Structure 1
């Protein structure tokens, strides 16, 4: 994954020179065993309006996770794609089903996959626990011939690692992200604080803010994946070969370097660096506290950049937020420029499609994975493109935070994925539970590592 992401980043940045001037996966021809016999790649993305059978009304289910105010920009893009595809494919009507991300990924979609009746189009997470597992079970449509037919396969950056099985592509990442530190520049200036680009400056800022009654880091740990973002990055900086080696046994949850990441988080909890009562705070609460000036910093994904635009949910901070990578950790052995960055989230498609449904899928892919929509995702929603954008398109990017994200990525020596893309589902669920126990003071860092390694070994034997 590191190599894939580096190639992707190199290609993206090579096309970003205009920005600087402006101010700065056996393709052997065999049919996929996962594809429905009816899903012929020769079917046209749009059917002829003169064909009476093609014009018969039909519906296609579409599961998305773009719900709520924070997702309004991404939902607008989806709505536009739906509109364009419906106008192109006679008789087509999409049935949109908006479901919260974790509910879709961990509850609804697994149950539907087990029963063999997933939506025709659905939000899909990459990696062993999701996309590759469903591909092995024959539930996902092989998209390789469709991408070839539409002529867009080579337009993607090298982003298919978590969606590729035996050389066939089973999912399309909508875009990428990197995780780092957002900070309130106004609060920092008012308190004479340097930007948190070094470890010393970050700790000095945290202590100074706390002394002023301002929470150093906004945090909402009611859902364990939220604090797991920071822990994942801490571990990635301490431990070489993590998290990729946990399934093979080359890396262990209870090795000293991994435990060090949990120990640092535990130390910050004790120092009061996070929102008081974080276990009762939601992800949205975290953003709201940051937007209200109750916290000086927030560790989050680059997708959050869209929240600080005019008219967005945290518009009160428009022009007052900057983004930096987590600074180099002292006495940590791994690459200190390495980032938690990946292309894990996208769309998957049922292998059980008739000809009309296949035409709808092709139209959907054609319109969503286009230069226009990829650019809108970057500008409106802060989602890094999964496809190559022209210099002309990239030159339209003016958002300073997005530019900072691109700059942060350009300085990364290596990258690593979040461990929920590598670890088996029971293991990942346990990471959330154990981290919440640590936050509540009911477990120590070493106890967390030991508990996780025990369940990891059990899963690895299956």
Structure 2
């Protein structure tokens, strides 16, 4: 009887162990079927490489993590703080096969990691998770790389060059907000006659000089300097020679303050903020500072064009732009779909935080939540313009042809000095592109 009892107990233990083993196998199968999301209390850990160095960057990450916990409670993120080293640490990780599952990547890292097969191509996940449908139409250039593939989920949208103006100065001096070159020349004469600087610019830095040229180039060719950078257009094309001549004509008419190429930002901004200059050229990041200084007196105008027809045609073609970048996924992550799903979710939440809590509409994706920090009035206008923007170009620092970048920076600055001709400008750019 003892032997029989022992035998029966042994059989019971075998069946119990088999049942437990079957249950574990069932969980593993569920994980595979759900793209790797763990079942029950088990958590899937993913290494994330992201900025977390100050209150601003911490806010973005903390918000995304809190939202992720609600949406995917079985995913745990292990944060590794992004080094401020132009991506060198990330490149070292790639070289040693130690890339985090998800990492914040710019265009430089994307281009390097594409060649070494370290970055996951995300085309199928952009479609599968509906991320493409959530993109701002005007920000598609931040999603697709030059080879028409996706390597990162973007959250930062395009940035723009704005032509700010002091509404009060225009009204007090009876000056019409210019829409054409002739109207701008008229405005220059009117302001000079009143002792007001028509436009301030910190041309000691070269990129604003390039931006001013690009503003007028977009009135002829909406792609502006980006078409020159890519080789789609030549500096000797009519659009670009006319743009150079427009800038030169305006400079000679007195558009800029004396010694403009020696003015830094603080000096140039002070002229505008103190009501001594009627207009100011800078990126949209100037909105907060100019609003603080001038309140509801400040606004931005659409760039003047050669004539009324081209003004209407290219009114929403903006100078400025952005590059592909955002949250990327390692090609060697164990569960590619889960990592891609989490990366896309984080990108959406970063954009959401920027839009709703930082008071900025400069995001790559659509946001349908109410804002908690109200936009400045100009940001309200810009948020309404962004979905309608027809094209963007590039900032000088985003140009891919290094020789052309150096040449157009030098030539644009020289153009603003007044001692340089449009032919010299075109010739120097042609030489650099050869």
TM-score by structure 2 length? 0.69
CA distance in 1, matches of 2:362, 2:157: 5
How many angstroms does 1:225 deviate by? 1.7
Alpha carbons of structure 1 residues 49 and 245: separation in structure 2 relative to 1, 3 Å? same
How many angstroms does 1:170 deviate by? 1.8
**Do the aligned residues in 2 keep the contact of 1:61 with 1:97 (CA within 8 Å)?**
no
* Structure-1 residue corresponding to 2:50: 62
**Do the aligned residues in 1 keep the contact of 2:329 with 2:340 (CA within 8 Å)?**
no
From 127, 134, 159, give the equivalent of 1:155: 134
Are residue 92 (structure 1) and residue 82 (structure 2) matched? no
Alpha carbons of structure 1 residues 378 and 288: separation in structure 2 relative to 1, 3 Å? farther
1:139-288 equivalent positions in 2, closer than 5 A: 140-148=119-127, 150-158=129-137, 159-161=139-141, 163-164=144-145, 166-171=147-152, 172=154, 174-239=156-221, 242-243=224-225, 245-246=227-228, 251-283=233-265, 285-288=267-270
CA distance in 1, matches of 2:334, 2:260: 50
**Do the aligned residues in 2 keep the contact of 1:324 with 1:408 (CA within 8 Å)?**
no
1:361-380 equivalent positions in 2, closer than 5 A: 363=342, 365-370=344-349, 373-374=351-352, 376-377=354-355, 380=358
CA distance in 1, matches of 2:331, 2:82: 18
Are residue 304 (structure 1) and residue 281 (structure 2) matched? no
The alignment partner of 1:296 has SS state of strand
CA distance in 1, matches of 2:88, 2:258: 34
**Do the aligned residues in 1 keep the contact of 2:199 with 2:281 (CA within 8 Å)?**
yes
How many angstroms does 1:399 deviate by? 4.2
CA distance in 1, matches of 2:89, 2:189: 46
Are residue 404 (structure 1) and residue 361 (structure 2) matched? no
How many angstroms does 1:296 deviate by? 1.4
CA distance in 1, matches of 2:170, 2:355: 30
**Do the aligned residues in 2 keep the contact of 1:150 with 1:366 (CA within 8 Å)?**
no
In structure 1, runs of 5+ residues without a counterpart are 1-40, 100-107, 309-313, 458-462
* Structure-1 residue corresponding to 2:326: 347
Are residue 456 (structure 1) and residue 430 (structure 2) matched? no
In structure 2, runs of 5+ residues without a counterpart are 1-33
How many angstroms does 1:133 deviate by? 7.2
Are residue 439 (structure 1) and residue 427 (structure 2) matched? no
Alpha carbons of structure 1 residues 323 and 255: separation in structure 2 relative to 1, 3 Å? same
Q: RMSD between aligned alpha carbons?
A: 4.5
How many angstroms does 1:63 deviate by? 5.4
How many angstroms does 1:185 deviate by? 1.5
CA distance in 2, matches of 1:433, 1:110: 29
After superposition, give the CA deviation of every residue in 1:50-105 in whole Å (9 maximum; x if it has no partner): 45x94xxx9744359x99xxxx9x75753544664897764623414457xxxxxx
CA distance in 2, matches of 1:442, 1:185: 32
How many angstroms does 1:258 deviate by? 0.8
Q: Which has the higher helix share?
A: 2
